[in-house]
Chain A
């Protein structure tokens, strides 16, 4: 019988209690006879819904297996995965976060099994390739981009513009812009009409990703790979980093993104766009479902015009803990989530599957978004997300960009600090 449980990992409580944080063991997982799947998606997401179908299919294929589909939160996995996986009672297959700071460390610490042989046997490396596959592989130091496969991605996300077609029409625009110059002209026109063009926030991650998208737009593959995969000696004070950051500063100074951004969080940003207060929202594809459900105006999405690369990544990796007791079942679970049925279900629910059939999607907006991803994938143009290389980079970048939106630092100051943080983090 399937037992679906909502679990909230309690290990963080140990921090509040003080004391020997690392000494805490335990975690999620069933007994020897139970096959335990641990995941962190919330129930409203496309992938969670897709995995419910996978669960049905898996149980049909393994009627004798007692399956536990356990859930926790994204933050809990980020914070507690190491504790969980060093305990006695680990899940048999689990979802983990992409990047050197997360999955890379789990891999380097021997807490996850290498999956290269399984990936090749199943031919998953035929469908998952290039930048979509890059963050599934980690070397012995936990650096992404090369080495063994430690995870298998199911879905992807990318950064894009949402636009309010009704509001655009009201201000005399009948189509989204084709070039960056056109986009900025539209921004200026809205500002002249007293309307802030872009709903954004720096309290959470929107300005961060806007910055990374502006950098990616000017960057080439090598520049991004050097930074993300810790290759060579990237100079983040020049090249696309400098031009993208300066453009962001220009956007901030002109007021394209609004004011008081550091106090605004993602929910408030989305609500404002959905309420029709802004013509654009620069945000990830993860907001698609909410906008689709709540917006009562004509809308659509378009990627940043003229961008060489696009912020985004495959993610939500399935991995097999080194102490898993049912590894064959774990591989079979991963195979089920990659099956056409499940992948197309994820697409039908508003997600971006890594191995789906875009032509089979009926909703035109969802099909359009998946076509955008297909184009990025075909061009090998995913530039990942900027916090992947070094632990702590996310908070550093967030804080620095909050400084830029508050006017307490500028592009050059932010990049100089970034260079220091990156270099010292890389060496540690």
Chain B
């Protein structure tokens, strides 16, 4: 665009307010920046500092050990197992609920909404979202009742169906992690359903009508119209859910406390336990630092992937 000079004959317009210099926008970011610095950056820096010491906490002496805690962490089987478990949890929190949530959102929006009205779709959406508003402690206690070995709800149902060898949901190290994953899928589904249904509001209905006139079935419309149009929202859901899965703590604390036989350890519980229960403050801080770095890298990678994908769509 080239600059033009207004014709002299015209009355001079009232001077437009001077465009603010871009730097002034920073003023709006300042409170958040200060808050972020105080709540995240400073504590993180202190955490990194503590991770370089051997320290029992409290008024106990601190001994400088440099990177020794990190070296030990790299050789700690339980720590690595806890990261391995995180991959399963990403499946349970990010992958499975997003896939199910996407299909449910499309069904509610496209099928239920049309056949039974928007209100029916809204009621169902709220029902899926309900577990999300439950305090995690309540959800955990609820699921511990469901999964109880001897007279839990799930095993009672299985018993009534004639199953004689009942699973030990939270006591069998081969099953316990899957039990936690089951709860997490239940807990998480409402989130993608709500986000993706609101994303679907943006899709031009004429596209669906045109596709229908051309004879496209539901699955074809889902693949060709729904998914491409809300891809950015899907990225957001996957990103936030993945980060949520990596720092997951409360369900493990409530359902299994890392057991049985340490089979359900996750990194945040590992940090918690070292920090508070074993009084290994430096070691716990080192594991928290590693977790924060890994989460940062994964989040950065996902954002990069999303940005590149959006760019490719243009």
A392 to B272, CA, bound (A): 12
Tell me if A130 counts as interface (CB < 8 A to partner B): no
Q: Which of A109-165 contact B (CB under 8 A)?
A: 109-111
Most-contacted residue by chain A among B43, B261, B280, B288 (CB, 10 A): B261
- List the interface of chain A (C-beta within 8 A of B): 12, 15-23, 78-80, 82-83, 85-86, 101, 105-106, 108-111, 202-203, 260-265, 268, 271-272, 391-392, 394-395, 398-400, 402-403, 406, 408
The reply to whether B261 and A406 form a contact with Cβ atoms under 8 Å apart is yes
Whether A406 lies near B249 (C-beta < 8 A) is no
B233 within 8 A of A: no
B58 is an interface residue with CB less than 8 A from chain A: yes
Q: Does B171 contact A (CB under 8 A)?
A: yes
A135 to B260, CA, bound (A): 30
- Pairwise interchain contact A19-B261, C-beta atoms closer than 8 A: no
Which residue of A16, A86, A395 contacts B277 across the interface (Cβ within 8 Å)? Answer: A395
C-alpha gap A408/B259 in the complex (Å): 14
Beta-carbon contact of A402 and B59 below 8 Å: no
Q: Is the CB of A264 within 8 A of B150?
A: yes
The answer to whether A109 and B149 touch (CB under 8 A), given A21-B288, A391-B278, A398-B259, is no
Size category of the binding interface on chain B: 35 or more
Question: B205 — which chain A residues lie within 8 A by C-beta?
Answer: none
Q: How far is the CA of A153 from the CA of B283 in the complex (A)?
A: 33
B133 at the A interface (CB under 8 A): no
Name 21 A/B residue pairs within 8 A (Cβ), A-sorted. A15-B268, A15-B276, A16-B247, A17-B39, A18-B247, A18-B291, A20-B44, A20-B47, A101-B277, A101-B279, A110-B59, A202-B171, A262-B170, A262-B172, A263-B147, A263-B172, A263-B260, A264-B148, A264-B171, A400-B261, A408-B261
Q: Which residues of A contact B171 (CB under 8 A)?
A: 202-203, 260-264, 402, 406
Roughly how many angstroms separate A18 CA and B285 CA in the complex, as a whole number?
Answer: 9
A83 contacts which chain B residues (CB < 8 A)?
57-58
What's the Cα separation between A271 and B58 when bound, in Å? 40
Complex: A111 Cα to B39 Cα, angstroms: 27
Of the candidates A19, A262, A398, which one forms a contact with B43 in the assembled complex, judged by CB atoms under 8 Å apart? A19
A23-B46 in contact (CB<8A): yes
**Chain A interface mostly:** helix
Q: Are B50 and A22 in contact (CB under 8 A)?
A: yes
Minimum CB distance partner of A204 in chain B? B257
Tally the A-B contacts, defined by beta carbons under 8 Å: 157
Known: A264-B171, A391-B278. A109 touches B150 (CB 8 A): no
Provide the residues of chain A in CB contact with B130, threshold 8 Å. Answer: none
Contact A403 B277 (CB under 8 A): no
What residues of B have a CB within 8 angstroms of the CB of A392 in the complex? 273, 277-278
Residues from chain B with Cβ under 8 Å of A260 in the complex? 149-150, 166, 168, 171-172
Tell me which residues across on chain B come within 8 A of A17, comparing CB atoms: 39
B150, A272: Cβ atoms closer than 8 Å: yes
Contact call B57/A22, Cβ cutoff below 8 A: yes
Instruction: State how many angstroms separate the Cβ of B240 from the closest Cβ of chain A.
Output: 16
List residues of chain A with CB within 8 A of the CB of B280: 391
Nearest chain A CB to B173 CB, angstrom units: 7
- For residue B258, CB closer than 8 A to chain A, the reply is yes
Please indicate which of the listed interface residues B40, B58, B272, B292 has the most CB atoms of chain A within 10 Å of its own CB: B58
Does B42 lie within 8 Å of A263, measured CB to CB?
no
Chain B residues near A105: list those with CB within 8 A: 56-58, 60, 279
Distance of A10 Cα from B257 Cα, bound (Å): 19
Distance in angstroms from B41 CB to nearest chain A CB is 9
B residues less than 8 Å from A403 (CB atoms):
260-261
- Report the separation of the CA atoms of residues A399 and B276 in the bound assembly, to the nearest whole angstrom: 18
- Does B307 count as interface, using CB distance less than 8 angstroms? no
* B158 vs chain A, min Cβ distance (A): 13
- Docked complex Cα distance between A403 and B174 (Å): 12
Minimum CB–CB distance for B62 against chain A, Å = 10
- B149: chain A residues at CB < 8 Å are 203, 260, 263-264, 268
Task: Let me know if A18 and B58 touch, CB within 8 A.
Answer: no
B60 touching A399, Cβ below 8 Å: no
Top 5 closest pairs, chain A to chain B, by CB: A263-B171, A19-B43, A262-B171, A263-B149, A20-B43
Residues of A within 8 A of B297 (CB): none
Q: Which of B58, B166, B277, B288 contacts A79 (CB 8 A)?
A: B277
**A399 CB contacts on chain B under 8 angstroms:** 259-262
A266 to chain B, nearest CB (A): 12
Pick the most buried of B39, B168, B170, B260: most chain A CB atoms within 10 A of its CB. B260
Considering the complex, which residues of chain B in the window 234-285 have a beta carbon less than 8 Å from any beta carbon of chain A?
A: 247, 249-250, 257-262, 268, 271-273, 275-281, 284-285
Q: Is B143 at the interface (CB under 8 A from chain A)?
A: no
- The 8 Å CB contact of A78, one of B60, B147, B277, is B277
Chain A residue with minimal CB distance to B50? A22
Q: With the chains together, A109 CA to B59 CA distance in Å? A: 5
Partner of B284, one of A21, A78, A406: A21
Task: Provide the bound-state CA to CA distance between A20 and B48, in Å.
Answer: 8
The CA of A20 and the CA of B49, in the complex, are separated in Å by 9
- Nearest CB in chain A: distance from B139 CB, A: 15
A17 to B47, CA, bound (A): 12
A342 to B284, CA, bound (A): 42
* Distance between Cα atoms of A83 and B280 in the complex (Å): 14
**Which residue in A12, A23, A268, A398 is a CB contact (below 8 Å) of B150?**
A268
Query: Does B288 lie within 8 Å of A18, measured CB to CB?
Result: yes
A109 touches B56 (CB 8 A): yes
Give the interface centre of A19, A23, A109, A406 by most chain B CB atoms within 10 Å: A19
Is B169 engaged at the interface, CB distance under 8 Å to the other chain? yes
CB distance from B160 to the nearest CB of A (A): 18
C-alpha spacing A82/B291, complex, angstroms: 24
Given contacts A18-B43, A101-B277, A265-B144, 12 further A-B contacts (CB under 8 A): A12-B272, A18-B291, A19-B39, A19-B288, A21-B47, A78-B276, A260-B166, A260-B168, A262-B173, A262-B260, A264-B171, A399-B260
Within 8 Å by CB of B58, from A20, A109, A264, A394, lies A109
